[in-house]
Chains A and B, each alone.
Chain A
Amino acid sequence: MKNTGLELRNLTVHYGHKRVVNDVSLALAPGQTLGLAGESGSGKSTVAMSVLRLLPKSARVDGEILLDGDDVRAMSWGRLRAVRWASASIVFQGAMHSLNPVRRVGDQIAEPMRLHNTPGSVTELLSQVELPEDKARAYPHELSGGQRQRVMIAMALACGPRLVIADEPTTALDVVVQAQVLGLVKRLVAEQDLGLLMISHDLSVLAETCDDLAVMHRGELVERGGTREVIANPRHPHTAALAAAFPVIGDPNHRLAGPGESTRGAFVLQERTEGPRVPSAAEPLLQVRDLRVDYGRTRAVDGVDLTIGHGEIVALVGQSGSGKTTLARTIMGLRNPSSGRVIFDGREVPRKGRALKAFRRQVQLVLQDPASALNPRHKVIDAVAEGLRVHGLPGDEESLVTAAVERAELRPASEYLQSLPHELSGGQQQRVVIAGALVLQPRLLVADEPVASLDASVRGEIVALLLRLRRELGLASLIITHDLGLAWQIADRVAVMHQGKIVEQGSVEQVLLDPTHDYTRALVRAVPQV
């Protein structure tokens, strides 16, 4: 069998009458690495799945898919099964669900080897992905996210394919683990001279691993070229938008908030804040002093000091498990601290009763995934009005809700009030969640990964909205994120959390450009650079 790599000729995919991939032609020579970028719904995953003919039956595929010169579309089932995994394999996204939960990972890695009669050992594959051999006996739920992804990679290499397709392999991982997994992929591709087709919405991830870059938009291939070249000089506006959405830390153009920014004239996104700076002599809005929170014997938050000024945006960054969510919950009065104090507007946060309820109105939460934060059966008006009802606030409900929805830039509000969440886009859903917080006229917004589940273009809009709310309402925010780029874009100050402690705290420029703590340095280093 000749090894000529992958070639797509005029690939078009329909679901019913909906065309999701439109006339895509791509070639990937053996040993070449190609990144395929695009937002959700751009058709990039459909292209990936079509290579091994894994699309659901309802998909109609036209054009040619040549894998080593053979058209995958025309293969018999037997031939197709022989080609699957042996010629090309896939590293799926979300390894938690892509591995069978009731079978040991060693068996799952060995399965394609037995099937295709490939020699080799699971132990050796595990060592290639830097996992100890006893992990072969583990079940998927016993492994961490990074380990599961390593298992997926080991499995993909089991039959020695010449081409590996990686579909958002690091999306669910946090920065440090993502950097490790990307480093691993890069090393294996180079060592084994593999062809790599990597799919991601994140250009910086692709820039890290791929020589060439192709960009898809609404089912069409809009750009193709060398990775550096495409990112430095995007020809298509969509590529530019994708690149802009992932801020470059250290680039003042991508800095949308904070003092001293007005020296530059060119903005990527048209949102700038001068901010009604509240007199600094005033007492800060929130002070956390020597806070400790325990879960049983585990100390989740360990002696944290943190202040947030009036109208200030503070980013709390750290890996998953660092205690940042627990800290936020304690600040909001959803959890009682083991010791220490939380002082809001000069007064200690009440621990119970009516006073606690009144306090909670002033601090509102925005969650990561708007689709799960909204009740699918509640209309927008009910979702937003819920807080008003809970707190029994006076005033005309509909006009208050309308005002909040318009503040969240869903205009005109009347068009949205009667909608159900599934009728809205992801960005609109997140605006509804924000409106639900705004309707209570809070003083502090706690946002837990507010843009992590949103597409690149929507992400910029939500960031702009948060900044506008600060400018117009003087609304302070605590942004919880593992995304240092977001911190760079939006925050005035950054606090870095590691193993329950705040290891570094200061202005964005100071912390991200000149980190002093080792952990902060590791975090900054782990961010993939375009």
Chain B
Amino acid sequence: MRLAGRLGGAALSLVMVAVLGFFLFRVVPGDPVVSMTRGRPTTAAMQAELRAQFGLDRPLHEQFFSYVSSLLHGDLGTSFTFRRPVAEVIGERLGPTVLLVGTATLIAVGLGLWLGVRAAWRRDSAFDRATTGVSLTLWAVPTFWLGMLLMMVTGDLFPSRGMRDTDTAPDFVSQALDVAHHLVLPSITLVAVVCAEYVLIMRSSLLEEMHAPYLVTARAKGLRDDLVRRRHAVPNAVLPAITLVFLRFGLVVAGAITTETVFSWPGLGLLFYDALTGPDYFLLQGLLLVTAGAVVVMNLLADLLHGVLDPRVKAV
């Protein structure tokens, strides 16, 4: 019953995103046809032909209905810039983004939660002050600056552009190693920047549990300090962090525009940026749908997981 309600809510959110996306991007300034033909001599007739080809000459409501009907058939339309189906364009950029942002998010979550727990447990210790200080500083630093700084400091140790070298041997192991090598700098940048969020939420959430009477009970039973923390404090303190973590997982596919730009990483963030300069309506709509879909699904998962981890939430 509750599950059905959640699913319905998620579906409704997606429908609203699809409708909103259509109108939202049509407000973006710029004429896609002018952008498409920029730098080439064009006549008014050629522009009109392009408009007709993409259906841009029809009234807005007609465009909307044709968008909805092709959406229902699983067709996201054709990108103006790439002259290829939107689904295909997004599909080939999805992998790199999930690889980069996914890796970075996993590391940041793990590291952040661990640091947050340690910092809160020894509140006001040197460790606590160093952890919160450093992570807040990195949070405040501009991403592009940090990325460029890393490039300069590491010199030629790690590649700083793209995802793979053209001259790598075609076998799987060499390819994988090459991608991993390229992954180092952008993921370090991303982890450094987003980690603070997890450190701080875990720290404050554990600090709130620190004076809970059940921890006194656990100590009175004779538990070692680290067992009190691991078995009793953390399972309660981690609950509020779960929602945030999953929301962040949902944002993974949105990519990381700045990081991808700095390191020329061929991901969705970079694609989003390019699409906006069009504006490439169909591509933007498709991107919005994919990113919003991921957030909605992850949010749903967070809700369900919360029900499993916290018995007080009525089980599904």
Contacts and interface: CB of A to CB of B under 8 A. Distances in A.
Contacts of A97: 212-214
Contacts of A94: 213
Contacts of A81: 222-224
A236 interface: no
A139 B312 CA distance: 8
A50 to B, nearest CB: 12
B235 interface: yes
Contacts of B224: 81
Contacts of B311: 101-102, 139, 141-142
Contact of A98 (B213, B222, B239): B213
Contact of B220 (A82, A89, A141): A89
A6 to B, nearest CB: 15
B221 A85 contact: yes
A102 B223 CA distance: 18
Contact of A86 (B222, B223, B309): B222
A100 interface: yes
Contacts of A111: 218, 221, 223, 231
Contacts of A52: 220
Contacts of A100: 214, 217-218, 232, 235-236
B190 to A, nearest CB: 32
B194 to A, nearest CB: 27
B216 interface: yes
Range class of the A interface residue count: 20 to 34
B223 A115 contact: yes
A54 interface: yes
A142 B214 CA distance: 17
B310 interface: yes
Interface in A64-100: 80-86, 89-90, 92, 94, 97-100
A100 B212 CA distance: 9
Given A101-B236, A141-B311, A92 B222 contact: no
B129 interface: no
A99 B214 contact: yes
A524 B9 CA distance: 53
A112 B222 contact: yes
A92 B213 CA distance: 9
Contacts of B310: 102
Contacts of A90: 217, 220
Q: By DSSP majority rule, is chain B's interface helix, strand, loop, or mixed?
A: helix
A125 to B, nearest CB: 14
Nearest to B215: A100
A84 B236 contact: no
B219 interface: yes
A189 to B, nearest CB: 19
A291 B142 CA distance: 67
Residue of A54, A80, A100 with most chain B CB atoms under a 10 A cut-off:
A100
Contacts of A155: 217, 221
A103 interface: yes
A465 B222 CA distance: 48
A89 B224 CA distance: 16
B39 to A, nearest CB: 62
Contact of A84 (B219, B235, B239, B309): B219
A84 B213 contact: no
Residue of A49, A80, A103, A155 with most chain B CB atoms under a 10 A cut-off:
A103
A116 interface: yes
Given A100-B214, A141-B312, A84 B222 contact: yes
B222 A102 contact: no
B222 A99 contact: no
Contacts of A101: 214, 236, 311-312
Q: By DSSP majority rule, is chain A's interface helix, strand, loop, or mixed?
A: mixed
Interface in B284-298: none
A49 B216 CA distance: 10
A428 B243 CA distance: 42
Nearest to B309: A102
A111 B214 CA distance: 13
Interface in B182-225: 212-214, 216-224
A216 B232 CA distance: 33
A142 B212 CA distance: 19
A37 B201 CA distance: 42
A103 B221 contact: no
Given A103-B235, A111-B221, A98 B312 contact: no
B313 to A, nearest CB: 10
A54 B312 contact: no
A89 B219 CA distance: 11
Residue of B216, B218, B231 with most chain A CB atoms under a 10 A cut-off:
B216
A112 B312 CA distance: 24
A116 B222 contact: yes
Contacts of A92: 213, 216-217
Contacts of A83: 222
Nearest to B214: A100
Interface string B226-262: 0000011001100100000000000000000000000
A223 to B, nearest CB: 28
Nearest to A152: B217
Interface string A34-61: 0000000000000001001010000000
Contacts of B312: 101-102, 139, 141
Contacts of B217: 90, 92, 98-100, 155
Contacts of B309: 102
Contacts of B213: 92, 94, 97-98
Contacts of A86: 222
A81 to B, nearest CB: 4
A88 to B, nearest CB: 9
Contacts of A112: 221-222
A139 B315 CA distance: 13
A100 B234 CA distance: 11
A163 B309 CA distance: 36
Contacts of B239: 102
A82 B223 CA distance: 9
Interface string B110-147: 00000000000000000000000000000000000000
Interface string B17-32: 0000000000000000
Contacts of A142: 311
Contacts of A80: 222
A54 B221 contact: no
A85 B222 contact: yes
A81 B222 CA distance: 4
Nearest to B235: A102
A453 to B, nearest CB: 18
A92 B236 CA distance: 20
B139 to A, nearest CB: 30
Given A54-B219, A102-B312, A139-B312, 16 more contacts: A49-B216, A54-B220, A84-B220, A84-B221, A97-B212, A99-B217, A100-B218, A100-B232, A101-B214, A101-B312, A102-B236, A111-B218, A115-B221, A139-B311, A142-B311, A155-B221
Interface of B: 212-214, 216-224, 231-232, 235-236, 239, 309-312
Interface of A: 49, 52, 54, 80-86, 89-90, 92, 94, 97-103, 111-112, 115-116, 139, 141-142, 155
- State the 5 A-B residue pairs at the shortest beta-carbon distance, nearest first: A84-B222, A112-B221, A139-B311, A81-B222, A97-B213
15 contacts: A49-B216, A80-B222, A81-B224, A85-B220, A86-B222, A89-B220, A90-B217, A99-B217, A100-B218, A101-B236, A101-B312, A102-B239, A102-B312, A115-B223, A141-B312
